[in-house]
Amino acid sequence: MNAFTIAAAVSTIFTGLALASCSPGEAPGDPAETGDNPAALFDRLSALCGQAFEGAVVSEDEVDAAFASETLVMHVRECSDDTLRIPFHVGEDRSRTWVITRLSDGGLRLKHDHRHEDGSEDVLTQYGGETETPVTGLRADFPADAESRALFDREGIPASMANIWTVAIEDGAYVYALNRPDRHFETRFDLSEPVTPPPPPWGAEQ
């Protein structure tokens, strides 16, 4: 990978007013530029529609070593007024899609759509949660909802019931993270250099 430097700052910071004029390859602005805009994060991600970006695991949990050795690509592939579908490719594994939905109360919902290569749903799929308050910046935290906690309990992974996922844009990067007691996983994707979009995620044709 053409080294992704986490500390690299965006050369130009765009305000929300300038968002519509961002050209491909230009990273969105920082949270400080958003004020109390309840649509800031969703709109920033929407502005990236059609583009793909390479990233890296930046956390240091040993259980993620194999995962971290793969090429990671996110693709803002499908966009509507209230839903974004962002496939997350791990090497040749195209099983994962983040689904971010804008809610009427100003909050966001994050779900994980996991598929097998034949397009069928994995047993662990459609889990996630909703923000507890309206999102007014470029960061959103999603505690596991009741449906997800029931799924994790049923599948024998009760530790995941405490999951809190994070989606953010900061320092010119798209951030996806998972936190719970004794567990931290984080990836960052460089938004300043789009890459060639990957093939469709598994199940996209269905």
pLDDT tens-place string over residues 3-33: 333 333 333 223 232 333 343 444 444 444 4
Task: Please tell me the predicted confidence (pLDDT) of residue 8.
Answer: 36
Query: What's the whole-number mean pLDDT along residues 191-203?
Result: 97
The percentage of residues in the chain with a pLDDT greater than 90, rounded to a whole number, is 78
Decide if 107 contacts 131 (C-beta within 8 A): yes
Tell me which of 26-35, 120-129, 186-195 is least confident. 26-35
Asked if residue 117 has pLDDT above 60, the reply is: yes
Task: Please tell me the predicted confidence (pLDDT) of residue 28.
Answer: 43
* pTM summary value: 0.83
The Cα 109–Cα 157 span in angstroms is 22
Domains of the chain: 16-195 (2.40.128.20)
Tell me which of 18-27, 34-43, 144-153, 182-191 is least confident. 18-27
For the chain, how are helix, strand and coil distributed in percent, rounded to 5? 20, 35, 45
How many Cβ atoms sit within 10 Å of the Cβ of residue 133?
10
The Cα 154–Cα 132 span in angstroms is 24
Task: Please tell me the predicted confidence (pLDDT) of residue 39.
Answer: 82
User: What's the pLDDT tens digit per position in 74-113?
Assistant: 999 999 999 999 999 999 999 999 999 999 999 999 999 9
Task: Please tell me the predicted confidence (pLDDT) of residue 38.
Answer: 65
**Nearest residue to 41 (alpha-carbon basis) of 142, 185, 123:** 142
DSSP string covering 25-73, please? TPPP--GGGSTT-TTHHHHHHHTTTT-EEEEEE-S--GGGHHHHTS-EE
Query: What's the whole-number mean pLDDT along residues 52-68?
Result: 94
Interior CA angle at 60 toward 59 and 61, to 5°? 105
Task: Please tell me the predicted confidence (pLDDT) of residue 101.
Answer: 98
Task: Please tell me the predicted confidence (pLDDT) of residue 36.
Answer: 66
**Nearest residue to 52 (alpha-carbon basis) of 202, 203, 205, 189:** 189
